[in-house]
Amino acid sequence: FVLADEYQDTSAAQAGMLEALTGPGAHLTVAADPYQSIYSFRGADLHNVEQFP
């Protein structure tokens, strides 16, 4: 099991790393609040939240 908090502040690279950590059969749980996204200047992308499976 992998838990990612503040997922709204992840970049595409960070989201890719989390996907790599959670191979087949693993569980990824994220906590996110799109209204608290404050790191767009460093590549955080709300599409990560919107496209989360």
pLDDT band for position 8 (50/70/90)? very high
User: Pairing state of beta strands 2-4 and 28-30?
Assistant: parallel
Q: Please report which residue ranges of 1-53 form alpha helices under DSSP H.
A: 12-21, 47-50
Q: Judge contact between 3 and 29, C-beta under 8 A.
A: yes
Residue 44 · residue 10 · CB < 8 Å: yes
Look at residue 17 and tell me whether its pLDDT is greater than 80.
yes
The pLDDT tens digits for 20-33 are: 988 888 888 999 99
